[in-house]
A = this chain, B = another copy of it.
Amino acid sequence: MSKYFNRRNIDFLLYEVFDVMSLGKYDYFKRQKKDTYDLIVDSAAQLAEKELRPYFVEMDRKEPQFEGGKVKVHPQVRNLMKEFGEGGWISADGSTEFGGQQLPLTLTSCTQFIFGAANYSASVFPFLSAGAARLLSKFGTDKLKSEYIPKLYSGEWQGTMAMTEPQAGSSLGDITTSADPLDDEGTVYKISGQKIYISAGDHDGVDNVVHLMLARIKGAPIGTKGLSLFVVPQKRYNEKGQPIDNNVVTSGIFHKMGYKGAPIVQLEFGGGEGCFGFLVGKPNHGLAHMFQMMNEARIAVGLSAASIASAAYYASLEYANERPQGRTLDNKEAVNPQSLIIEHADVKRMLLFQKSIVEGSQSLLMQCAYYADMAKAEKEASQEIFKLVLDLLTPVAKSFPSEMGIHSTSAAIQIFGGAGYCQDFPVEQYFREMRIHTIHEGTTGIHALDLLGRKIVMGGGIAFRAFTEEVTKVIKKSKLEITALSRYGTQLDDVLFRLQNITMKLSTQAMNEKKDVFLADATAYLELFGIVAIGWQWLMQANIAQKGLEANPEDKFYQSKLHTMRYYFEYELPKSEGLITRLNSSDHVTLEADSKTIL
């Protein structure tokens, strides 16, 4: 068995860094025990090894086909949906009220990480069903809940998130799929329109596909304020409770560079006979409702990116430990056997780089999951601050692992050399599967605008202040309590200070200058923010590892944590400098680039 994730690191994050057991003091999580949690992580690892990992390559090479109007996926999809359903993996973090297990997201982030590392494409099917069920449990009528949630949880039906249309990708306000009321209560609608790029939007691994879809009720306002959320199944029940066709027609499949195991499809709604959609939540509140699913999906995208990078890291680490090539400087003579490539400084650099990205990202994502759990568990008055920081961090936690994941999986290929470019090894597939993550669930550019244009300025900067307080806590701990790490505390403090200044400068611009100037370098700002956020997570991990090392000086895991943190502060954190220079410049290069003459 090749390693694709680090179990010890999961335990470290789960119990030492984020102390998931402390959630047990809240009513919402009160039934939880450490033994159960350990067992859940063990079971996830076994399930991944049995149902996901063996099909990783095959699902890429034999990609889904569109035949006779239906999408055929790898036969294993049906098995895995059954296993994930029966094992309770789809219902894991759902509320117990509707048959879920109410596990903390802090925990299920770990199991999702394992599934993504084992076989990203395969992990998407159950994940999407869980999201659809969660959305229904929150906003659906009792009838919808009882009809759909058990089937989604059991893995018999597939859930999806159906938003994108040919003319409406980043710009959801331009969605035109329409919903015509069919009853007086406003519950059933006739849907017509077209959706594209719908992940798992049709396949033969389940008995029904259930779309959680955005559409516009006839007469609704234009823009995002006129979008409503519907559940639109492939098959619906007629009055006699028999399943009948709901006129959702699959019109095509897209062939992708990677992430091939999961089909993304084009769907036509209501072309011939009537296609029924059932309203979920309040009319014209669809986007706000959908954001429930989208925000968790965004965290999940970051998590998947980090998990793929983890798998690539361990593949390249294994290779570096086995492949002899060249000689280190203390072994120069050609008569000597070659050195293992892991002994070359540049290979070590590429390994430490990957490790710093993988474990830094994973920690930030667990941090987000922890905030989400706290927001769920705490009493209303105390929830707000967790929600705010989570909202602020979501675009960062989605984008940093996705963007840096490209470089990280690329480094894995580089360690393999020519072999890494060939299909004999898995790293080229990781590189291809990674590339979707800066795009789906909102491109990096969209998240940058979300961070700077919305999250930073909201409530007069309250979320940003809360974030800096969180970071400062960790810095203080390093500076005051842990001598060995105080220099890193100082280093991060300095970059944080510069981020604060830039944030202040930009916020002032938002008020005084034209908004286009304020937002022009949002992506550079997001990148800088990500570097600081991951620095924060590394310092937090280092604080704990340093204490652990005091108790057990020979512990290799802690030693490695500290060394990787050191790498991050020496090689990655300095990348902030160029970004800071750029963000402090007043030369509006991009805005002034006339699209007709310059480009």
Q: Which A residues have a C-beta under 8 Å from some C-beta of B?
A: 164, 167, 169-171, 173-174, 197, 222-224, 254-259, 317, 320-321, 324-330, 334-335, 338, 340, 342-349, 351-352, 355, 406, 410, 413-414, 417-418, 420-424, 428, 431-432, 435-436, 438-440, 443-445, 448-449, 514-516, 519-524, 556, 559-560, 563-564, 566-567, 570-571, 574-579, 581-582, 585, 587, 589-593, 595, 597-599
Given contacts A169-B418, A578-B577, is CB(A522)–CB(B346) below 8 Å? yes
* A546, chain B: closest CB distance, angstroms: 15
Contacts of A167 in B (CB 8 A): 324-325, 338
> What is the CA–CA distance of A169 and B524 in the complex, to the nearest angstrom?
38
Q: Say how many copies of this protein the assembly contains.
A: 2
> What is the CA–CA distance of A597 and B321 in the complex, to the nearest angstrom?
12
Tell me whether A435 and B406 are in contact (CB under 8 A): no
- Identify 18 residue pairs between A and B in the complex whose beta-carbon atoms are under 8 Å apart, listed by A's number: A169-B418, A171-B338, A173-B334, A255-B424, A256-B423, A256-B428, A257-B428, A259-B421, A317-B599, A347-B445, A351-B599, A355-B599, A421-B436, A421-B439, A560-B598, A563-B598, A567-B593, A578-B578
Tell me whether A577 and B570 are in contact (CB under 8 A): no
Tell me whether A325 and B170 are in contact (CB under 8 A): yes
> What is the CA–CA distance of A567 and B592 in the complex, to the nearest angstrom?
11
Tell me whether A171 and B325 are in contact (CB under 8 A): yes
Contacts of A342 in B (CB 8 A): 595, 599
Given contacts A516-B329, A590-B349, is CB(A421)–CB(B435) below 8 Å? yes
Contacts of A519 in B (CB 8 A): 329, 345
Tell me whether A417 and B439 are in contact (CB under 8 A): yes
Tell me whether A222 and B334 are in contact (CB under 8 A): yes
* A496, chain B: closest CB distance, angstroms: 16
Contacts of A560 in B (CB 8 A): 597-599
Question: Residue on B with the closest CB to A341?
Answer: B170
Question: Residue on B with the closest CB to A344?
Answer: B445
Tell me whether B321 and A595 are in contact (CB under 8 A): yes
Question: Residue on B with the closest CB to A61?
Answer: B255
* Contact among B440, B516, B579 for A328, CB-based, below 8 A: B516
* Contact among B338, B340, B559, B563 for A174, CB-based, below 8 A: B338
Given contacts A345-B519, A516-B329, A598-B563, is CB(A406)–CB(B410) below 8 Å? yes
Given contacts A575-B578, A590-B345, is CB(A326)–CB(B254) below 8 Å? no
* A480, chain B: closest CB distance, angstroms: 23
* A174, chain B: closest CB distance, angstroms: 6
**Extra 14 A-B pairs, beta carbons < 8 Å, given A559-B597, A575-B578:** A169-B417, A170-B326, A171-B325, A254-B424, A257-B422, A343-B595, A344-B445, A345-B521, A346-B448, A348-B590, A348-B595, A563-B592, A563-B593, A578-B578
> What is the CA–CA distance of A259 and B585 in the complex, to the nearest angstrom?
40
Tell me whether B170 and A417 are in contact (CB under 8 A): yes
Given contacts A417-B439, A423-B255, is CB(A589)–CB(B563) below 8 Å? yes
Contacts of A424 in B (CB 8 A): 254-255
Question: Residue on B with the closest CB to A577?
Answer: B577
Tell me whether B438 and A414 are in contact (CB under 8 A): yes
Contacts of A597 in B (CB 8 A): 556, 559-560
Contacts of A574 in B (CB 8 A): 577-579, 581-582
Contacts of A413 in B (CB 8 A): 435, 439
Contacts of A351 in B (CB 8 A): 593, 599
Question: Residue on B with the closest CB to A453?
Answer: B329
Question: Residue on B with the closest CB to A429?
Answer: B257
Contacts of A591 in B (CB 8 A): 345, 348
Tell me whether A577 and B566 are in contact (CB under 8 A): no
Tell me whether B593 and A432 are in contact (CB under 8 A): no
Contacts of A329 in B (CB 8 A): 514-516, 519
Tell me whether B585 and A570 are in contact (CB under 8 A): yes
Tell me whether A570 and B587 are in contact (CB under 8 A): yes
Given contacts A256-B422, A589-B571, is CB(A523)–CB(B346) below 8 Å? yes
Contacts of A590 in B (CB 8 A): 345-346, 348-349, 352, 567
Question: Residue on B with the closest CB to A555?
Answer: B597
Contacts of A579 in B (CB 8 A): 574
> What is the CA–CA distance of A174 and B338 in the complex, to the nearest angstrom?
9
Question: Residue on B with the closest CB to A561?
Answer: B598
> What is the CA–CA distance of A394 and B416 in the complex, to the nearest angstrom?
23
Given contacts A338-B167, A563-B598, A595-B342, is CB(A589)–CB(B577) below 8 Å? no
> What is the CA–CA distance of A413 and B445 in the complex, to the nearest angstrom?
13
Contacts of A599 in B (CB 8 A): 317, 320, 342, 348, 351-352, 355, 560
> What is the CA–CA distance of A423 and B254 in the complex, to the nearest angstrom?
8
Question: Residue on B with the closest CB to A554?
Answer: B597
Tell me whether B223 and A334 are in contact (CB under 8 A): yes
* Contact among B321, B422, B448, B514 for A254, CB-based, below 8 A: B422
Given contacts A325-B169, A599-B352, is CB(A582)–CB(B571) below 8 Å? yes
* Contact among B326, B521, B592 for A171, CB-based, below 8 A: B326
Residue from A170, A585, A595 whose CB has the most chain B CB atoms within 10 Å: A595
> What is the CA–CA distance of A559 and B599 in the complex, to the nearest angstrom?
10
Tell me whether A439 and B422 are in contact (CB under 8 A): no
> What is the CA–CA distance of A436 and B578 in the complex, to the nearest angstrom?
28
Tell me whether A582 and B595 are in contact (CB under 8 A): no
Residue from A170, A424, A444 whose CB has the most chain B CB atoms within 10 Å: A170
> What is the CA–CA distance of A581 and B591 in the complex, to the nearest angstrom?
30
* A285, chain B: closest CB distance, angstroms: 17
Tell me whether A566 and B587 are in contact (CB under 8 A): yes
